[in-house]
Chains A and B, each alone.
Chain A
Amino acid sequence: MIEKVIVAGFGGQGVMALGKLLAYGGMLDDRQVSWLPSYGPEMRGGTANCDVIVSDTLIGSPVLTDDATAVIVMNLPSMDKFESHLAPNGKLIINKSLIEKKATRDDIEAYYIDANEIAMEIGNAKAANMVMLGAFLELTKIVKPESIIKAFTKVFGEDKAKFIPLNELALQRGAEAVKEQMAVS
């Protein structure tokens, strides 16, 4: 089992955090993991992205070019840039709240999640990244949601434990949102 994921959006959308939670959760599930950020001037306010690999076997290159099994895009520039990085039959998970466009490739699976709306419904717009992660986990089953929650305080610190219930809910709602589409497709 291996998932090679690109997570992309603009600074402040919790893209790096999503990737770290996924990697940390994967590690807690005894899988091999790597998390590689884009770094540089674009870190400050521009687009942000990271490559995450979760695998049962040793990870080769941590860099994803055109072999991603999944791409999670939080905004339109990210979708324009990274849709092409998906391997055939890869999963493109699109934040429908901010991206009106449809997937342009027909050799991939596309899922549309109202991440921002769902996050607002449950009380915090900042949880949109967790909604997207919930959808990804439901699709791939690569990491248990419980492990993501266990990783939460490891990544953000113990003082953020109070946000766990909100984030648990966000994961669930993301999973539910993608289930509806899986049933349709």
Chain B
Amino acid sequence: MAKVLMKGNEAVGAAAIKAGCRYFFGYPITPQNEVPEYMSKELPKVGGVFLQAESEVAAINMVYGAAGAGARVMTSSSSPGISLKQEGISYIAGAELPCVIVNMMRGGPGLGSIQAAQADYFQATRGGGNGDYRHIVYAPASIQETVDIMMEAFDIADIYRIPVMILGDGMIGQMMEAVEFKEYVPRELPEKDWATSGTKEMKSPRVVNSLYLEPELLQEHNVNLEKKHKIIEEKEVRYEATGIEDAEVVCVAYGTTARVAKNAIDDLAKEGIKVGLIRPITLWPFPHEAFDKINPQAKGLLTIEMSMGQMIDDVKIASNGRWPVAFEGKTGGLVPSSVDVVNAVKKMIGGAK
């Protein structure tokens, strides 16, 4: 298929529909409005349903109902809206329902700003909702990668019966890039023999539920969820790693900031400074294994984020004391420049060569 120039938010919608998503429940918030707008236009054409809910809270609970009824369903929002969805995300994780949630992050806390940010890392990877739960978090760095991940995300959600979050930033949502839609080839998927569809008075009633009043049963449920999380940690980690075996410094960044880091790494290479990059594509599960391949003599790791430093916690855990970990970032809608990154790297290696 030929390439088309598409805005990230619209590409998200197009990819979802290609992957068989037929239901979208959402609520307006900048900078992701093109997702619901696109879905409202396109879903009816393929026999799907777009519904603008009365709030993000309602939207995520509509997703719960639709997912529980066996549908391929998604919602999208941006940071403050995702905060409101946390209750529903916890319930969806607890009831083990598959769905896809898109967060085009903006500045926070509170109403924050409408400019791009990466300040929801904690919320996305630690869970803003209650309870021992996890959900997969993908952090694409280009529109093409966003589209490719979107098309797989629904299958991943179905396989593990887990919510999958696409964590972009306002930049990924608003930017236009050339994108090619590959043909969607579904994986072998388990039958949804748990979905509520009416018993027809033939089969025994199905219950979609996250309530376990007996402590032993709830513990058992949690143990089972954790087993699932371990399998995901083994099988679904994704990252890009370049030049880390012989690097003096390794940058760790995801999404838009990883692109800034790449520019800086090219500039530093011209000065003879070898800098590697680890770009987590899944933020949970975090790519701990990538860090084992880093040059043991490296002078340090530099985490670059559009926040005050959140992923840096995971980088420190992954580093496990092997290398000093430094931070470079901007927040509030500002984006670190490649010059900022170059200077931060030079500071780590003790000035320019």
Contact = CB atoms under 8 A, between A and B. Distances in A.
Q: Are A and B interaction partners? A: yes
Interface of A: 20, 23-24, 27, 32-37, 39-40, 58-63, 65-67, 151, 154-155
A23 B176 contact: yes
Contacts of B30: 39-40
B107 to A, nearest CB: 11
A56 B114 CA distance: 32
Given A40-B30, A60-B259, A61-B260, A34 B177 contact: yes
Nearest to A58: B262
28 contacts: A20-B176, A23-B5, A24-B5, A27-B5, A33-B176, A34-B176, A35-B177, A36-B171, A36-B174, A36-B175, A39-B170, A40-B30, A40-B114, A58-B262, A60-B259, A60-B263, A60-B266, A61-B259, A61-B260, A62-B175, A62-B256, A62-B259, A63-B171, A63-B337, A66-B337, A67-B337, A154-B4, A155-B5
B178 interface: yes
Contacts of B260: 60-61, 63
B75 interface: no
Interface string B23-36: 00000001100000
A146 B30 CA distance: 36
A60 B176 contact: no
B14 interface: no
Interface string B150-183: 0000000000000000000011001111100000
A35 B259 contact: no
Summarize B's interface: helix, strand, loop or mixed: mixed
A33 B132 CA distance: 42
A20 B170 CA distance: 18
Q: Which 8 pairs show the lowest CB-CB distances between chains A and B?
A: A60-B263, A35-B176, A61-B260, A27-B178, A60-B262, A61-B259, A24-B5, A60-B259
B338 interface: yes
Given A27-B178, A60-B260, 15 more contacts: A33-B5, A33-B178, A34-B176, A35-B5, A35-B175, A36-B175, A39-B114, A60-B259, A60-B263, A60-B266, A60-B338, A61-B262, A63-B171, A67-B338, A154-B4
B339 interface: yes
Contact of A61 (B114, B170, B263): B263
B102 interface: no
A84 to B, nearest CB: 13
B227 to A, nearest CB: 39
B66 interface: no
Interface string B242-272: 0000000000000010011011001000000
Interface in B84-119: 114-115
A138 B116 CA distance: 34
Contacts of B338: 60-61, 67
A65 B339 CA distance: 10
B255 to A, nearest CB: 11
Contacts of A33: 5, 176-178
A32 B4 CA distance: 12
Contacts of A23: 5, 176
Contacts of B115: 40
B259 A59 contact: yes
B174 A39 contact: yes
A43 B115 CA distance: 13
Among A32, A37, A60, A65, chain B packs the most CB atoms within 10 A around the CB of A60
Contacts of A37: 174
